[in-house]
């Protein structure tokens, strides 16, 4: 299971019961939180998500609509007795803010908060089953996007065949990476007989807040699901440029450049009550688009 | 009109759709915000309050459930183009946190944020029509309560009588403070003929977070409405003491000591889903008690 659940889809000002940015990526049993606007802990409760399962939090930049809910979430985790470590990735100053807020409250967290400052593009988390890398976007202040990739084995076991050829379960992991099995009596079971090619790795690209910038497309090439902001409809392109944000058409053109399989749009300006037009406009250029709607989960595959 | 509207009535953890502490005091055309837990700006929108009317914000202490929503509210006021000054009262470190958060976001507010650090007990705001003073409570970290008083003139004009005795409107303010009117021809109109005694000043005492402390009662004596926290029911008195909080019975006893006309209880622990028991227990000792319910306004008179 690889997917993303939207907890907040609005830009700077909360409006029409839309919340500032927060997204929860589920990757098998892991939960990654990307950005954490004000009220994210309430949204987590509302959608009955177990925040104890969040192991890693990624903060794109230090505009409030992307992190004002972080300190509340962290202190609530502490009040609820969390003991296992929490990894936090974000701009270097983020930890100064949190440290100051904990200090004035005379609060010591009952778990380790492991902070990883974002300083250069590249791999920030590497695990046998997944990896996360960060890349710079173009915003008014330093801002990072995140690329989360599920690592898959190149081969997938055919259950009936491994039984038929009597391959011991202990050898399955080696079959998955393409090795042949040689029995104790020297009989060779060719890998192709007991496995099939697996589907390729999947990836989710979160492009945070950014003005339209083609060069970023290279960094998120071929993403299965690409999240790109559409703060404004196309008629406000000048405003989007001035404020380092993007329009529907720009997000769609970016998705084409990046060769994304699917596009997810969000970070809607609070000037818009209805969102239908966002979807219509974006689809005129990139058809496989969905609106990021709070409480909805989108599969990544 | 003098009253308080509850925006958040819960303690540390948001739960059961109850929010962390925030209260809005209306005094004629003035709005005072007391405490500002996470999500307060959303609560302000939900109850259709015009936050442009908030001129003064009072923060009792730096536990997150009393101020994590402040930076979001302030930056939203800025985004919405507020130009008139905002007065903020709170522990000295509060301004360091706000300043740091504005700095990392490269944000300059379009209005003056005038910070008044709370350093000693006494008057912090004095106006011809009202005053606000602060007093220390007993909590785990320094914590301030607030006493908001409406100043009334000692005398109230009798409309028909001032017309009958031909007192010019320009003299009404002097009548209200008890002076006699002397006409151009030297006729004395005795004050008692054209006025009646006004009702006395009203006051709202907000006791913030505190353990039961009798000596504080002197500071909020005779309040028309006394807000006292009841984080726990009576059976958890030991926990209340250990955590510098209060129980129902303690709040009720405090209200008796303070000779409060009415008691408003809140800051309920998230361990309680239902609040009925809070009211029942408190009323056994102090009958004129109400639960602080979100979205409800309570008159102060």
Residues A79-138 pLDDT 10s = 999 999 999 999 999 999 999 999 999 999 999 999 999 999 999 999 989 999 999 999
State yes or no: is B17 an active-site residue: no
Distance between CA atoms of A56 and B190, rounded to whole angstroms? 77
Place of tokens 């009317």: B53
As given in the structure block, the two tokens for residue B234 are 């009576």
Between the two ends of chain B, the Cα-to-Cα distance in Å is 9
Q: Which residues of A touch B80 (CB under 8 A)?
A: 13
Facing residue for A97 by CB, picked from B75, B76, B101: B101
pLDDT at A1 over 90: no
Q: What is the mean pLDDT of residues A199-223?
A: 95
Please, are residues B54 and B111 in contact by the beta-carbon 8 Å criterion? no
End-to-end CA distance of chain A: 9
Q: Which pLDDT belongs to residue A14?
A: 82
Question: Pick from A38, A64, A105: which is nearest to B105 by CB?
Answer: A64
Pick from A39, A64, A94: CB nearest B42: A39
Taking each continuous run of H as one helix and of E as one strand, the counts in chain A are: 10, 18
In the three-class reduction of DSSP (H, G, I as helix; E, B as strand; rest coil), residue B177 is classed as coil
CA distance to A49, A129, B108, per residue, from A146 (Å): 22, 17, 28
Subunit contact A71:B64, Cβ cutoff 8 A: yes
Q: Cα separation of A40 and A80, whole Å?
A: 16
Q: Which residue of B has its CA nearest to A73?
A: B13
Q: Is B277 helix (H, G, I), strand (E, B) or coil?
A: helix
What is the pLDDT at residue A120? Answer: 97
- Distance CA(A298)–CA(A249), nearest Å, equals 21
CA quadruple A43, A46, A48, A50: dihedral positive or negative? positive
The CA distance from A146 to A181, in Å, is 39
Q: Cα separation of A226 and A135, whole Å?
A: 14
| Burial state string for B41-62 with b = 16 or more CB within 10 A and e = fewer than 16 | bbbbbeeebebeebebbbbbbb
Q: How far does CA A253 lie from the centroid of its chain?
A: 21
Chain A neighbors of B101, CB-CB under 8 A: 62, 64, 97
Q: Which chain A residues are Cβ-neighbours of B39 within 8 angstroms?
A: 38-39, 42
- Minimum distance, in Å, between the CA of residue B75 and any CA atom of chain A: 8
Please name which of B233, B251, B270 lies closest in space to residue B65, comparing C-alpha atoms. B270
Chain A residues in contact with B76 (beta carbon < 8 A): 12-14
What does each of the 301 residues of chain B score in pLDDT, given as a tens digit?
899 999 999 998 888 889 999 999 999 889 999 999 999 999 999 999 999 999 999 999 999 999 999 999 999 999 999 999 999 999 999 999 999 999 999 999 999 999 999 999 999 999 989 999 999 999 999 999 999 999 988 999 999 999 999 999 999 999 999 999 998 889 999 999 999 999 888 999 999 999 999 999 999 999 999 999 999 999 999 999 999 999 999 999 999 999 999 999 999 999 999 999 999 999 999 999 999 999 999 999 8
Which pLDDT belongs to residue B230?
Answer: 98
Report how far residue B26's alpha carbon sits from residue B298's, in angstroms, rounded to the nearest whole number.
10
Q: How far apart are CA B197 and CA B24, in angstroms?
A: 30
Which of A18, A29, A20 shows the shortest CA–CA distance to A56? A29
Q: Residues B79-131: pLDDT tens digits?
A: 999 999 999 999 999 999 999 999 999 999 999 999 999 999 999 999 989 99
Instruction: State the average pLDDT for chain A.
Output: 96
Size of interface A-B (CB pairs under 8 A): 89
Minimal Cα–Cα distance from B126 to chain A, Å?
Answer: 29
Nearest CA-CA distance, residue A87 and chain B, Å:
21
Q: Which residues of A are catalytic?
A: 65
Establish how many alpha carbons lie within 13 A of residue B233's alpha carbon, considering only the half-sphere containing its beta carbon: 13
Q: Which of B63, B79, B105 sits opposite A13 (nearest CB)?
A: B79
């Amino acid at each position: 299971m690889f997917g993303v659940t939207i907890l907040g889809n609005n830009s700077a000002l909360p409006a029409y019961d839309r919340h500032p940015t927060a997204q929860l990526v589920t990757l098998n049993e892991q939960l990654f939180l990307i950005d954490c606007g004000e009220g994210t802990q309430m949204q987590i409760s509302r959608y009955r998500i177990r925040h104890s399962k969040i192991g890693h939090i990624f903060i794109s930049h230090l505009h409030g609509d992307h992190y004002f809910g972080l300190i509340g979430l962290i202190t609530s985790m502490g009040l609820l007795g969390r003991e296992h470590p929490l990894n936090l990735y974000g701009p270097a100053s983020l930890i100064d803010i949190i440290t100051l807020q904990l200090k004035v409250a005379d609060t010591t967290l009952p778990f380790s908060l492991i902070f990883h400052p974002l300083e250069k593009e590249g791999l920030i988390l590497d695990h046998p089953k997944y990896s996360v890398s960060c890349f710079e976007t173009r915003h008014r202040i330093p801002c990072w996007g995140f690329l989360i990739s599920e690592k898959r084995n190149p081969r997938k076991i055919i259950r009936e065949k491994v039984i038929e050829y009597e391959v011991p379960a202990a050898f399955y992991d080696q079959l998955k990476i393409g090795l042949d099995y040689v029995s104790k009596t020297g009989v060779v079971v060719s890998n192709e007989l007991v496995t099939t090619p697996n589907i390729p790795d999947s990836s989710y690209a979160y492009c945070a807040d950014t003005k339209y910038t083609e060069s970023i497309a290279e960094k998120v090439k071929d993403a299965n699901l690409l999240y790109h902001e559409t703060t404004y409809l196309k008629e406000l392109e000048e405003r989007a440029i001035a404020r380092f944000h993007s329009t529907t058409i720009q997000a769609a053109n970016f998705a084409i450049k990046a060769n994304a399989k699917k596009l997810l749009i969000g970070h809607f300006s609070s000037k818009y009550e209805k969102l239908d037009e966002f979807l219509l406009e974006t689809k005129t250029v990139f058809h496989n688009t969905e609106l990021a709607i709070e409480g909805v989960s989108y599969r990544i595959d």
